Every structure is written in C-alpha cells, then in structure tokens.
Structure 1
Amino acid sequence: WKFYDESAWLKEQFAKAPTKGFRFLAPWEGGFRNMTTREPLNGPDDAKGKKLRSFANEMMRWSLEAMGFGVQIMPLPEVYMAIQQGVVAGQENPIDMINGQKFYEVAPHVTITNHVYSPTPVVISERTWQRLPEADRALILRAAQEVTPFMRKLIKDNDETLLAEMETKNAKVNRKPDIAAFRRSVEPVYEKAREKYGADAKAVLEEAAAIRAQAK
C-alpha cells in the first residue's frame, strides 16, 4: 500500500492516463493472488511439469514459468471445468475469487503464495470526466478516495474468514509454503524486466526496495 500510495513512478504513470482516454480516481483493492492446485504445492519443485491457468499478462507468465509451471491462458468462466477435466492442474487468483468461483472444489490445495498483488484501480473515461461539472468531479473523487481504506481493510480482513470457510468444505490450505524458494525461482524475471522495460523496471524495483528497507 505504501508503494501504491507514494511511488513517484506510479504517480507519473497515473498522470499520463488522461492522454490515453481514462483517469485514475482511487487505488481500490483486489488482494494478493494465491494458488489452487489439484495436488499439494509447497515450492517450485512441485510446480514442474504442471499447467496453471492465468490471464494474459507478460510479467505473470514470466513469473509462473520461472517457478516451473506451464502457463495456460483461458477465460475465467472456463477454468473450473478445465481443472475438473485435467486440462490444467490449477489456477491463481485472489482469495475472494477462489472462494467465489469455488475453485477449491476441483483444486483443493490452496497455497498462500501471495505471489502478485492485485490492486483494482477505480477509473473513469476522460471524455466523461471532462463533461462533468467541477463540483461533481470533486464529489466523485472524494467518494472514491474515502472508500479506499474501507476496501483495503475489507479484503485483507476477509481473506482468513474465507479460507476458514473453504476449509470446512474440504479445502486444504497451506499457509507456509517455501516462499524463499519461490522468490529465488523468479529472480531471473527481474533481469528480464530490466532488459525489456529499462528505466521503468529500474524505478519500480528501486522504490520497492527503499520501502522494504524503511519497513525493517
């Protein structure tokens, strides 16, 4: 949250959005993404040779492949049946999505990897924004931003409740996988990002490192 709220690089990206046709209003919450698989998953060794469903995102694909997974891109409505039929060994999503889509029914091993943070920004069409009276803009912006702390706390606090609920329905939750091994496995992805995205990747990684250092 500190990075998302204070990053100079991110603020610069948000400032460019109106020229692309939309405007960021507030950093709402999606939560951290976690794994659900048909078989136990404790580290990269367990990922090798298994197909995992994800969405079309280059950094996500690089990361999952570095962990050892084969990545299968498919629409969300197809995932439950794909796991059930053995087309893929599992999927990754935030806890509320895992619960809502009942993925634990076909992929009962829920592994808390927190491998990607998924904010859900509130945006508005720039064309629509420009049509609004100034007073309405101020009210909309204020409302969107005032809800942010509530949204963040709601998602964060609800994760354990949903996990406990899934456990009553035979989900097997692994809260302590080998995170260090997962982190080591994706280290080459950072270099790949630096090569492709240059100064942008450098800025993000440096800011994140500085925030981690402050937290210690």
Structure 2
Amino acid sequence: MKLKTLFLAAALVAGSPVLTAHAADIQSRLIRFGYGLNQDSNQGRAAKVFADEVAKLSDGKMKVRAIGAAALGSDIQMQQALIGGAQEMMVGSTATLVGITKEMAIWDTPFLFNSGEEADKVLDGPTGTLIKDKLKDKGLVGLVYWENGFRNLTNSRHPVATADDFSGLKLRVMQNNVFLETFQKLGANAIPLPFSELFTALETKTVDGQENPFNTILSSKFYEVQKYLSVTNHVYSPWIVTVSKRWWDGLSADEQDVLMKAAETSRDYERKDTRDEADKALAALKEHGMEVNVAGPDSVEQMRKTIAPVNEQIKKEVGAEIWQAVQDELAEIRKQGS
C-alpha cells in the first residue's frame, strides 16, 4: 500500500497525463462545433484536429461533434446561437463579428499585412488578444485566431488587373460594411450574401464574382462557375474560434483549459496546413481551367489610393488607439525583420 502511494505521488510530480485527466474536474460533455466550409477543407481538417485533441486531453470525457458545410447556419446565425446558448462552439470569419464587436473591423483593413507571419504576431500579440477579449461583453469567448488567408478575386466576366477593371462587376462580399465600402470605392456593385448562398448565386449569375483565399475557392469548387482568378491579396482574412459565454461560464477551470489548449494546437496546425495548401490550391485551380492573372505593384498601389477613405473610416470605427497600436506593432515587426 505504501509503495502504491509513493507511485501515485511520483506520477503527480511527473505530471502523468492519464492521472491528471482522471483527477481533473472534467465531466462528460458533447460539444457542437459548427463551421461553414466542407469537411475536406482546411477548416474541416483543423476542426477534426481540435476534436481529437479535446478527446485526448479530457481522457475521452469531452466529445466534440464538428459540423461543417454551414449545416448549423451561416456565421451570423451561429454567432447568435452561441450568444443565446443554443450552440456551444464555432469557427467563423472575424468580418461577420464587426456588428457585434466593432474593433474586429481592424482585421478587414485592405493591405494591412504583408505576410502570414506578420499576421500571426499581431493576432497572437497584445492588440489581437485585447480585441478578442472584447467579445466577452457580447456573450462570446474568443479562444484563438485561425487563418483563412489572403483574399483574391474571381469572376465570370473578365480578368481584374487594375482598379478600373472592378467597374460594373456584381461582387458578393461578406455582410460587413468595410467590405461593402471597399468594393464600392473600386467601382463594383457590392452585394452582401451569406457564404452558404454563394455558390448558387454564382451559378445563376445573380452575382458575377466573389473574393476568398485560394483554399476556399478550391474546396468550394467555385472553378465550376467562375472563369477568371485575379491575384490581388487585397485583405488578409482571419477566422476565430469562439465559444458561447453562457456555456463557457458553466465549465470548470480544467474543462476551459482543455478547450484552450486544444484550440491552440488546432491553430498551429491550421495555419501551417492553410499555407501549405495555398500554392497547391492555386495550381489545382489552374488545372481546373481558371485563367489566372496577378495584379502588379503599380495596380495594387492604385487600388490602395482608391480605397484610402476606407482606411480612415476603419480608424474612426475601431478608435485611434486600437488603430495606432496595430500600426506600431507592425512597424516594430518590420523593423526587426529588416
């Protein structure tokens, strides 16, 4: 008996994961985790990593049911379900949260980041955390940011190489004022639609085009209804893993810790997976017959100048303090990298 006691004490000191899981304050729970893309997308793969990690860390007590293809509704519908406590978790665009937490609009700033690595440092840094934590006052808990990627343009009419080429295009944009104003400034007819309705809208020519990262364009099979792909990298688009605060507040500290650690593991996996897949996705889109053009530096600069008033509006919306904090962080990151 003495030997068994000594063994258990040694296991505790060593941090035995099995003993910790059994000893922790963790109950049996079924967690619905909604997302918008298909199961075989980068979003779907990362959702599975999250589910597997939760099961491992909770010794199988907490089970995540990942439900994709917008089966639980659009991002906005799922956000409302989380706020009301009718759904536990989801991952979705930060852009659709702007109506709930205005500071999220900072991530919609056109041409904000030069690389994914810059985005990681800012999103995971002090300002990214500050903005994420503001969701708590609105009934949501933000865990981590995933990557959707740099957004690029597709349409069924013609290549977009300059700002002038946007003129007259009917473009689906997210239900977000910054996106609406950006493309309106460029001369497009910007039409807000939920992602779940997008493929049908493109197929029926209700809209001419849309903008999303390469991975989403491929996994959603937009190449079946779109001919032209223009590489503009006009916005870096994050996703964010969120939890119903009403539900979160009923969890033990150990259960919250399991979800946070699993979310961080899924974040690191998802970012690497997304970046690895981006080049492959672009090559695959070409193989599927899409005509690809790259907007050159002069054209991008022209676009920047055209949409400059949008940046001023974002600064006003999120507040000068938040705006400047992001700019200062980016300046320091670029200084260190130079």
Instruction: Provide TM-score, normalisation by structure 2.
Output: 0.58
Instruction: Please give the alpha-carbon distance, in whole angstroms, between the structure 2 residues aligned to 1:133 and 1:194.
Output: 38
Secondary structure, aligned partner of 1:131: coil
- Residue in 2 that maps onto 1:32: 150
Counterpart of 1:9 (choices 109, 124, 127) is 127
1:188 alignment counterpart? 309
Alpha-carbon shift at residue 95 of structure 1 (Å): 1.7
CA contact 1:108–1:170 (8 Å) conserved in 2? yes
For the aligned residue pairs, the C-alpha RMSD in angstroms reads 2.1
Aligned to 1:171: 290
1:22 aligns with 2:140: yes
Alpha-carbon distance change, 86 to 123 in structure 1, aligned in 2, over 3 angstroms: closer
Equivalent runs, 1:189-208 vs 2, <5 Å: 189-199=310-320, 200-208=322-330
Q: Distance in 2 between matches of 1:129 and 1:85?
A: 42
Q: Deviations over 1:87-115 (max 9, x none)?
A: 32211112222112222222211112121
Q: Is the 8 A contact 1:105 1:171 kept in 2?
A: no
1:152-173 CA distance string (max 9 Å, x none)? 0101110111111121111112
Residue 115 of structure 1 pairs with residue 234 of structure 2: yes
TM-score (normalizing by structure 1): 0.88
Measured after TM superposition, the shift of residue 213 of structure 1 is: 4.2
Write out aligned runs for 1:2-81 (5 A): 2-6=121-125, 8-38=126-156, 39-81=158-200
Q: Is the 8 A contact 2:164 2:187 kept in 1?
A: yes
How many angstroms apart in 2 are the aligned matches of 1:137 and 1:81?
39
- 1:36 positional shift: 0.4
* Unpaired segments ≥5 residues, structure 1: none
Q: Which has the larger radius of gyration?
A: 2
* 2:220 corresponds to which of 101, 104, 126: 101
SS in 2 for 1:59: helix
Aligned residues: 215
Cα displacement (A) at 1:210: 4.1
Moved over 6 A (4+): none
Q: Secondary structure at the match of 2:232?
A: strand
Contact kept? 2:176, 2:192, Cα under 8 Å: no
For residues 17-51 of structure 1, the C-alpha deviation after alignment (integer angstroms, 9 at most, x for no partner) is 22221211111221121110121111211111222
Return the alpha-carbon distance in structure 2 between the equivalents of residues 124 and 196 of structure 1: 25
1:147 corresponds to which residue?
266
Distance 1:150 1:70, change over 3 A: same
Q: For residue 117 of structure 1, report the CA deviation from its aligned partner.
A: 1.6
Same amino acid, percent of matched pairs: 33
Name the SS of the counterpart of 1:107 in structure 2. coil
Task: Rate the CA distance shift 1:215–1:135 in 2: closer, same or farther, 3 A.
Answer: same
Instruction: Tell me: CA distance 1:210–1:142, structure 2 relative to 1, closer, same or farther (3 Å).
Output: same
User: What amino acid sits opposite 1:211 in the alignment?
Assistant: I
Higher mean C-alpha displacement, 184-193 vs 57-66:
184-193
Deviations 1:125-163 (Å, cap 9, x if unpaired)? 122222222222212211111222211010111011111
